Amino acid sequence: MDIKKFCFGSVMNTEAVVLDIKESNKNDMPYLKIGFQNELTYELKKKDIIYGLGENVRGINKKGWIYESFCSDEFEHTEDRKSIYAAHNFLILQGSEIFGVFIDCPGKVIFDLGYTKGDLMCIKVPENNFDLYIIQGNSLKEIAKNFRELVGKSYIAPKWAFGYQQSRWGYKNKEDILNVVEGFKKNDIPIDGVCLDIDYMERFKDFTIDKEKFGDFENFVKNLKSQGIRLIPIIDAGVKIEKGYDVYDEGVENGYFCVDKNNKPFVAAVWPGKVHFPDFLNEDVRAWFGEKYKYLIDKGIEGFWNDMNEPAIFYTEKSLKQVVDKAYESKDKNLDVHSFFELNDSFLSISNRMEDYKSFYHRVHGKIIRHDKVHNLYGYNMTRAAAEAFEKIAPNKRFLIFSRSSAIGMHRYGGIWTGDNKAWWSSLELNIKMMPNLNICGFIYSGADTGGFACDCTEDLLIRWNEFSMFTPLYRNHSANDTRNQEPYSFSPSTTSALRTIIENRYAYIPYIYSEYMKACMENECYFKPMTFEYEDDNLIEDQLLVGDSLMIAPVYKQNAFGRYVYLPEEMVFWNMVSYQNRSFQVLPKGHHYIEVELEATPIFIRKDKILVLGKHSSCVDYLDNKELDLIAFVDERACYNYYDDDGITKEYNNQDFQFKISIEKKDNDYEIDLYAIENCIVKKLNLTIIDTQGKEFKKELFI
Ligand code: MIG
């Protein structure tokens, strides 16, 4: 058996794990030592690498910092932070030995990865109730795959969700949305979705639509859809306290909200002012809340984003009173440095206080559980509520759903976006480094706010960021209301044109991106991988990634850089791509290179004996016509590709359903090509470009 389970105390079933693993005796525990208060320790060597922990700050290698899994509404993603929105408690250690560790626990977990002591990894669970899984395997890839088998298949998004999405907090009415759509059409930029932020709601109430700003919503949705554009509304965790509002009334009547110590619905304040939190840990509550999505689905909606579900708390009555009292006490006083900063801090720390998370309760299977002990399951189960409802509403249909807060387990129900980043170059760098770790933890459909959420974006940052986001399954430009506009047409004509080309490139890459994404989901593999997952003996390169099986990318993420260093672990084909339509390939030898990368260029590397599949762009995913595909193969000995495609709408996917399988083998001065296609193959023609190690190109057309 490759997975061993050890139990500490008694822990609530988080339903993160789908395999039934028998508990092992702690005396037989490999790798880790059990210390004081069940701390798990491991002696670190200088060059050990720790992958995983999904959504977190810092590098791909997590070694050398302390991380706390406690889902937090944290808009600073700077390297001094310990927690952001998620709890992804899986890591893989690579050193003289390799193994994976998963802490299955609904509450806080502390991963001290050589922070307190440089040579010690120490994992602590303050509540002391958790299940530990140790995952073994012969390679990093195998361990990651074994882990994914343990936690179950990742959520699969509909194909249209691979199109470009435009979003902004501040599109306040239909006219604003239509202007955005017009901006894309006028500038001939492909687009598949526009997100609706909280402004579409009536007084920030979930499952309501502001009739003045978004009247005749159904026809509005229909009209846009006829142009290939879907609207994606936001749903918040907190339910506004307002008599006569059905969600509130029903929730109170049926006891569906989390309660305070007096068994009264717990009151916190978020967007709409005072709210109650649905008790998503409860099956009935999930069924009830999930059913509410139908209100919007009946109006033609096919995708959602779930926000503020850590859950975020702006303030509680108690915390507000404390700071207001303090302010009154300070009135007319001569505040010195200490008392002034104490007052100042009390306001700054009024949100998301541990004290508040300790003051409300869930009722699960007749048991009362204090929220902080199961905190990390909240966003997970909100998204699960939606997914379970979708399954009931339209069992064979794929919906788009992505969440802000998440924990392992939720990866089966939805994707994530990585929250409130900034229009900073360092946020782009963090985005690049976070993607492989998210994949390792099972979150394949994911992406960041392209261009940055907070702060003002610059044209060059937006261009560089799009050059990376064109590879992320969720490709969404989102920004906050008080920032400079960052739609692709908001800057100079040359920037609009550069962004149009990059977005077109994305659409042309969808045959490859979708095929690789689907295979990753169905076969428990990673779509984004650290370099070492394929080149295990090499040093880890933090700013180069493998995308699917055929590509390596080396994004530029520094301002005013028109080139960068790249390390090739083997010979590769380099394509300094501006437009996917203009191709020139160069074989680069293994080793270090400095490559020139113009602002408009995206460096692409095709691995040896691998094949890249390209189509053509269109105005949206629904209009893609991939009857004819281009295959670019770098062949030394033999390159193979299994091309997966399906309708992208239903759940009738199958990991054996390859449209075609191709193998290209070098034979002296010729190539032997084997092509197998299914009977009703969607693809009718393949245009092959085969590049050999001398850089010589050979072209051939194949008809299916
Ligand atoms: O307190 O709905 O992360 O994407 O635009 C901010 C408004 C609440 C946080 C989300 C962001 C969204 C914003 N929300």
Phi-psi category of 560—alpha, beta or left, where left has phi over 0 and alpha has psi -120 to 50?
left
The pLDDT score that the predictor gives to residue 669 is: 85
Walk across the sheet containing 49-52 and list its strands.
Answer: 3-8, 130-135, 98-104, 90-94, 49-52
**Which of 420, 477, 486 gets mutated to test ligand 1 (max ligand atoms within 8 A of its CB)?**
420
**Which of 77, 307, 421 gets mutated to test ligand 1 (max ligand atoms within 8 A of its CB)?**
307
Pairing of strands 602-606, 551-553: antiparallel
Whole-number Å distance, alpha carbon 236 to ligand 1 midpoint, is 9
Looking from the CA of residue 270, the nearest atom of ligand 1 is: 1
The pLDDT score that the predictor gives to residue 403 is: 98
The pLDDT score that the predictor gives to residue 1 is: 58
End-to-end Cα spacing for the chain: 44
DSSP string, 534-592: TSTTSPPPTT-EEETTTEEE----STT-SEEEEEESS-EEEEEESSTTS--EEEE-SEE
Question: Is 315 near ligand 1, meaning CB less than 6 Å away?
Answer: no
Superfamily of domain 2-151: glycosyl hydrolase (family 31) (2.60.40.1760)
Question: Is 311 near ligand 1, meaning CB less than 6 Å away?
Answer: no
pLDDT under 70 in the chain at which residues?
1
Whole-number Å distance, alpha carbon 234 to ligand 1 midpoint, is 9
Structure tokens at 201: 């709601």
Question: Is 307 near ligand 1, meaning CB less than 6 Å away?
Answer: yes
Contacts (Cβ under 8 Å, ≥6 apart) of 221:
231, 299, 300, 301
DSSP string, 198-264: GGGSSTT-TT---TTTS-SHHHHHHHHHHTT-EEEEEEESPEE--TT-HHHHHHHHHT-B-B-TTSS
Looking from the CA of residue 481, the nearest atom of ligand 1 is: 5
The pLDDT score that the predictor gives to residue 655 is: 83
Virtual CA dihedral for 198, 201, 205, 209, nearest 10 degrees? -150
Location of structure tokens 């709890």 = 87
- Residue whose Cα lies nearest atom 5 of ligand 1: it is 169
Looking from the CA of residue 169, the nearest atom of ligand 1 is: 5
Looking from the CA of residue 449, the nearest atom of ligand 1 is: 4
In the chain, % helix, strand, coil (3-state, to 5) comes to 25, 30, 45
At 363 the three-state DSSP class reads strand
Q: How far apart are CA 639 and CA 664, in angstroms?
A: 5
Question: Is 55 near ligand 1, meaning CB less than 6 Å away?
Answer: no
Half-sphere exposure of 97 (CA within 13 A, CB side): 12
Looking from the CA of residue 75, the nearest atom of ligand 1 is: 3
Phi, psi of 684 (to 5 degrees): -110, -20
Phi-psi category of 277—alpha, beta or left, where left has phi over 0 and alpha has psi -120 to 50?
beta
56-59 — which CB contacts under 8 Å span 24+ positions? 56/84, 56/86, 56/88, 56/434, 56/437, 57/81, 57/84, 57/430, 58/430, 58/433, 59/433, 59/542
Whole-number Å distance, alpha carbon 433 to ligand 1 midpoint, is 23
Question: Is 310 near ligand 1, meaning CB less than 6 Å away?
Answer: no
Question: Is 197 near ligand 1, meaning CB less than 6 Å away?
Answer: yes
Q: How far apart are CA 131 and CA 5, in angstroms?
A: 7
Q: How far apart are CA 79 and CA 77, in angstroms?
A: 7
**Which of 197, 304, 422 gets mutated to test ligand 1 (max ligand atoms within 8 A of its CB)?**
197
Contacts (Cβ under 8 Å, ≥6 apart) of 398:
156, 157, 158, 648, 649, 650, 651
CB atoms inside a 10 Å sphere around CB 480: 18
Q: How far apart are CA 309 and CA 72, in angstroms?
A: 9
**Which of 271, 304, 308 gets mutated to test ligand 1 (max ligand atoms within 8 A of its CB)?**
308
Query: In the 8-state DSSP scheme, what is residue 419?
Result: -
At 493 the three-state DSSP class reads helix
Distances (CA, A) of 513 to 230, 567, 614, 623: 20, 23, 9, 17
Hey, where are the domains in the chain?
2-151
| Per-residue pLDDT tens digits for 386-434 | 999 999 999 999 999 999 999 999 999 999 999 999 999 999 999 999 9
Looking from the CA of residue 234, the nearest atom of ligand 1 is: 2
Whole-number Å distance, alpha carbon 308 to ligand 1 midpoint, is 7
Is the pTM higher than 0.95? The answer reads yes
Question: Is 169 near ligand 1, meaning CB less than 6 Å away?
Answer: yes
Whole-number Å distance, alpha carbon 307 to ligand 1 midpoint, is 7
- Residue 661's nearest CA partner among 620, 603, 702 is 702
Pairing of strands 591-596, 563-568: antiparallel
Spatial contact of 190 and 620, defined as CB atoms under 8 Å apart = yes
Amino acid at 439: N
Q: Which residues in 619-696 belong to E strands, given as ranges?
A: 628-634, 638-644, 658-667, 670-677, 685-691
The pLDDT score that the predictor gives to residue 620 is: 98
- Residue whose Cα lies nearest atom 8 of ligand 1: it is 308
Phi, psi of 210 (to 5 degrees): -65, 115
At 96 the three-state DSSP class reads coil
The pLDDT score that the predictor gives to residue 656 is: 83
Question: Is 404 near ligand 1, meaning CB less than 6 Å away?
Answer: yes
Question: Is 199 near ligand 1, meaning CB less than 6 Å away?
Answer: no
- Residue whose Cα lies nearest atom 12 of ligand 1: it is 169
Q: How far apart are CA 289 and CA 277, in angstroms?
A: 11
The pLDDT score that the predictor gives to residue 480 is: 98
Question: Is 198 near ligand 1, meaning CB less than 6 Å away?
Answer: yes
Structure tokens at 84: 């952001």
Question: Residue 403's beta-bridge partner residues?
Answer: 306, 416
Whole-number Å distance, alpha carbon 239 to ligand 1 midpoint, is 16
Question: Is 65 near ligand 1, meaning CB less than 6 Å away?
Answer: no
- Residue 134's nearest CA partner among 85, 197, 189, 90 is 90
At 32 the three-state DSSP class reads coil
Question: Residue 698's beta-bridge partner residues?
Answer: 690
ω before 311 within 30° of 0 (cis)? yes
Whole-number Å distance, alpha carbon 472 to ligand 1 midpoint, is 21
Report the Cα 596 to chain-centroid distance in Å: 30
Question: Is 420 near ligand 1, meaning CB less than 6 Å away?
Answer: yes
| Per-residue pLDDT tens digits for 93-148 | 999 999 999 999 999 999 999 999 999 999 999 999 999 999 999 999 999 999 99
253-259 — which CB contacts under 8 Å span 24+ positions? 254/284, 254/288, 255/363, 256/282, 256/284, 256/285, 256/288, 256/289, 258/360, 258/361, 258/362, 258/371, 259/360, 259/361, 259/363
The pLDDT score that the predictor gives to residue 370 is: 98
Question: Is 390 near ligand 1, meaning CB less than 6 Å away?
Answer: no
Distances (CA, A) of 163 to 235, 453, 514: 21, 20, 11
Whole-number Å distance, alpha carbon 665 to ligand 1 midpoint, is 51
Whole-number Å distance, alpha carbon 486 to ligand 1 midpoint, is 16
| Per-residue pLDDT tens digits for 636-682 | 999 999 999 999 999 999 888 899 999 999 998 899 999 999 999 99
Whole-number Å distance, alpha carbon 86 to ligand 1 midpoint, is 16
Question: Is 230 near ligand 1, meaning CB less than 6 Å away?
Answer: no
At 391 the three-state DSSP class reads helix
Whole-number Å distance, alpha carbon 577 to ligand 1 midpoint, is 34
Amino acid at 55: E
Amino acid at 259: V
Question: Is 419 near ligand 1, meaning CB less than 6 Å away?
Answer: yes
Distances (CA, A) of 432 to 291, 418, 439, 596: 36, 12, 12, 20
Whole-number Å distance, alpha carbon 168 to ligand 1 midpoint, is 9
Looking from the CA of residue 419, the nearest atom of ligand 1 is: 3
Spatial contact of 488 and 189, defined as CB atoms under 8 Å apart = yes
Whole-number Å distance, alpha carbon 238 to ligand 1 midpoint, is 13
Looking from the CA of residue 168, the nearest atom of ligand 1 is: 5
Amino acid at 584: S
Query: In the 8-state DSSP scheme, what is residue 394?
Result: S
- Residue whose Cα lies nearest atom 13 of ligand 1: it is 169
Phi, psi of 295 (to 5 degrees): -55, -45
